[in-house]
Amino acid sequence: MQVSEFTPPQLAGQRLMVGFDGIRLNSDLRHLITTLKVGGVILFARNITVPEQLLELSCAIQETARKAGMPPLFIAIDQEGGLVARLKEPFTLLPGASKMKDLNTVRRYAGITANELNGVGINMNMAPVMDIAPVNIQSIMAERSFGPDPQRVSEMGVQIIEQLQQSNIMAVAKHFPGIGRTTLDSHLDKPTLAIGLDILKTADLIPFQAAISGGVAGMMLSHIFYDQIDSRWPASLSPKIAERLLRNEMGFDGVVMTDDLDMGAIKKHYDIQTVVRQILSAGIDIAMICHKGPDIETAYQEILKSITDSPTVHAKCRTSVQRILKLKHQYLSF
């Protein structure tokens, strides 16, 4: 399928990656795929029992999309290892980044992860974490980061990207432009990081530039408020960070997505209509909403309305969906 063939409802749906409840194809999930025409789903422990069930679910998702005349879905999961691993036994229990001591270990575990994801129909991993974690603070990323050294984080992260993508699993680097300097969890509220771009360029951005050079498929934006870069919007809603910095200055032409819009950093401060309009304005490709609820339908309707009302938004939406389709053509068969 080419983007020129897409109707406005199809364009709107491709911009969404959503979560759902249940362990099999049910009426809610069918509605997301066939009516809202979502471009991707993200899986959590609530969706998983055993490998056979997970493979059956993945196949049902893709078959439903095919019958609806839509391209395959991104089927994503957070499988970093350590604290953030949705796949438990009998899958391999991986150590977190802070416990991986050398490139051979990282390479081996990334290969295991890729094999296990392929075996259950998952095609995208929300990893690696490319955040640095300074040693002089209680970093929220202390357990999930490869450490304080940007070069080490770069080398380890690029190994994961290469191993995953060589095995046809799309990697998503996170959390741009870096959350390792924060101590407040953005799941709870909106952290502010009062440092300028000059400081970020000396450390935090180095691993993300390495990920771009390594051909990473996707980039996830953090919900951190970098008030010296954008005095109004957090990174996940910021055109200054998503468009000017990530795309124009750093040269990333892959798919850009938000972190979960259900997190407190966003949910406590903005209504979903404002969030969606800002995402569209910032040229962010995918809005991620990880929990069942009215926000998914509202976000879809707001994207559709914006596409219909504004030729400028319509054109930008086609550009985003073109990037999404390019990635799907590269990694998924259709």
State mean pLDDT over 30-53.
Answer: 97
* Residues with a known catalytic role: 187, 259
Confidence of residue 81 (pLDDT cuts 50, 70, 90): very high
Of all residues in the chain, what percent carry a pLDDT higher than 90?
88
Q: Is residue 133 part of a domain?
A: yes
Q: Is residue 180 part of a domain?
A: yes
Per-residue pLDDT of 170-219, as tens digits, reads 999 999 999 989 987 778 777 888 899 999 999 999 999 999 999 999 99
Q: Is residue 43 part of a domain?
A: yes
Chain mean pLDDT for the chain: 95
Q: Is residue 196 part of a domain?
A: yes
Q: Identify whether the C-beta of residue 283 lies closer than 8 Å to the C-beta of residue 242.
A: yes
Of all residues in the chain, what percent carry a pLDDT higher than 70?
100
Quote the tokens at residue 154: 């770069």
Per-residue pLDDT of 233-263, as tens digits, reads 999 999 999 999 999 999 999 999 999 999 9
User: Residue 81 maps to which CATH number?
Assistant: 3.20.20.300
**Res. 288: pLDDT tops 90:** yes
Q: Which residue has the higher pLDDT, 186 or 61?
A: 61
Confidence of residue 322 (pLDDT cuts 50, 70, 90): very high
**Res. 2: pLDDT tops 90:** no
Q: Is residue 2 part of a domain?
A: no
Q: What pLDDT is stored for residue 122 in this prediction? A: 98
**C-alpha distances in angstroms, 254 versus 16, 170, 203, 214, 285?**
16, 11, 22, 12, 9
As a 3-state breakdown, the chain gives helix, strand, coil percent values, each rounded to 5, of 45, 15, 40
**Res. 72: pLDDT tops 90:** yes
Q: Which residue has the higher pLDDT, 185 or 121?
A: 121
Q: What pLDDT is stored for residue 334 in this prediction? A: 78
Q: Identify whether the C-beta of residue 58 lies closer than 8 Å to the C-beta of residue 43.
A: no
Q: Is residue 1 part of a domain?
A: no
Number of compact structural domains in the chain: 1
pTM over 0.85: yes
Domain range for 166 = 11-329
Q: Is residue 239 part of a domain?
A: yes
State mean pLDDT over 31-35.
Answer: 97
Q: Is residue 6 part of a domain?
A: no
